Structure 1
């Protein structure tokens, strides 16, 4: 009888810690696009071995937040202006399709519950200056809008687009806070929720058209 060797299972907490740390630094701007992410330096900062750090970096590559360069290690992904513009165009197309499919929403229950919850989390995180949690809630907000369509394949198509856009989306909110008032990003999303609550498809589509997801990125991204 052949005894199968047990696979080494990494403690999820160590991998999660490394993922959160790197993602937070990338989304906050501590790492700029193209910056190298050294495994040894990460291990030293986190006080952990190389294995969970490598697994964390692998997961972040799958998300599209960083990329692996053969024989040169990892770096923050570099999106061209065309890449960013095209990704946002895809996001708009999918969100518009979701709204056109979902509206008018059913009169029973609370179909907007997940959208409201994400906005509440976004507002709370913004209020205490937690940009990492605000960015997470921001993505959940948009995912919850698409989920209104009840279309599993649409959700699956939308998820990787949203992951690839997490850095531009975070940058837009960060630059908006610097250029205007910190709470303006939350107010824009509250306006979108208010449009959703009208249950009028045309009002929602118009609010989405003027949402301003690219307004505070570099001019070449517009």
Structure 2
């Protein structure tokens, strides 16, 4: 029998993945018994995981309805994107130092780049997963564990929007965002702080392009 901590992490990761993939869309009621049955674990870690997701803003506790997947307003999405950009820009100096001292970190990011095209072919959920892992790895290079945890939490809050973004992203836009990732890796490889800053800002700003479409989707 795994310790409760491991069960909690398992439940948390699985429920969050289902929200990010769109299996549990905004407004979905999360029933602990159904989730625990599907995961093959007891209700206790599932309840703890859902409460954790409430604290992250990914789930809402609504009177007489229970726990439901949160809906994010376009204004909330904009706030999240601004915080994300701020954290990625803050991480620049630390990431450049780490890559200079640990070339294997750069090699890992390059391997992630290779996986982007295959991820898009597998679907939007996999593309979103690769995107999250790439940017989380970049933030990790800054060497600040608290920053990484805050970054992951901020990303989780906007998970529904990011999945919407991937689902509605035109093919030409996908190629453009892939190029942003390439520019980030190239900038890290050459130690070009200005290029890295430009690539980050351009990449995050591209998400704003779909805010009007998301606003229409959110009003349904």
State the TM-score, normalized to the length of structure 2: 0.73
Cα displacement (A) at 1:76: 0.7
1:56 and 2:46 are equivalent in the alignment: no
- The match for 1:192 among 184, 190, 194 is 184
| Runs of 5+ consecutive residues of structure 1 not aligned to the other structure | 1-7
> How far apart, CA to CA, are the structure 1 residues paired with 2:171 and 2:202?
17
Match of 1:78 in 2: 71
Within 5 Å, which residues of 2 pair with 1:139-158? 139-158=132-151
- The match for 1:216 among 205, 210, 213 is 210
Closer/same/farther in 2, CA of residues 100 and 106 from structure 1, 3 Å limit: closer
Within 5 Å, which residues of 2 pair with 1:9-48? 10=4, 12=6, 16=10, 18-43=11-36, 45-46=38-39
**Larger Rg belongs to:** 1
CA deviation digits over 1:51-70, x for unaligned, max 9? Answer: 34323323433443222234
Greater relative contact order, per chain length (Cα 8 Å cut-off, separation 6+): 2
1:204 and 2:196 are equivalent in the alignment: yes
- The match for 2:171 among 177, 180, 188 is 180
- The match for 2:163 among 170, 189, 195 is 170
Cα displacement (A) at 1:136: 3.1
Asked if the contact 2:99/2:189 (under 8 Å) is kept, the reply is no
What do you get for the CA RMSD once the two structures are aligned?
3.5
> How far apart, CA to CA, are the structure 2 residues paired with 1:46 and 1:109?
38
Task: For residue 60 of structure 2, give the secondary structure of its aligned residue in structure 1.
Answer: strand
Within 5 Å, which residues of 2 pair with 1:47-126? 49-103=42-96, 107-110=100-103, 111-126=105-120
Cα displacement (A) at 1:83: 1.2
> How far apart, CA to CA, are the structure 1 residues paired with 2:154 and 2:33?
31
> How far apart, CA to CA, are the structure 2 residues paired with 1:9 and 1:195?
43
State the TM-score, normalized to the length of structure 1: 0.72
* Number of matched pairs: 210
Task: For residue 84 of structure 1, give the secondary structure of its aligned residue in structure 2.
Answer: helix
The structure whose residues are more often helix, as a share, is 2
Asked if the contact 2:96/2:188 (under 8 Å) is kept, the reply is no
| Runs of 5+ consecutive residues of structure 2 not aligned to the other structure | 216-220
> How far apart, CA to CA, are the structure 1 residues paired with 2:194 and 2:5?
48
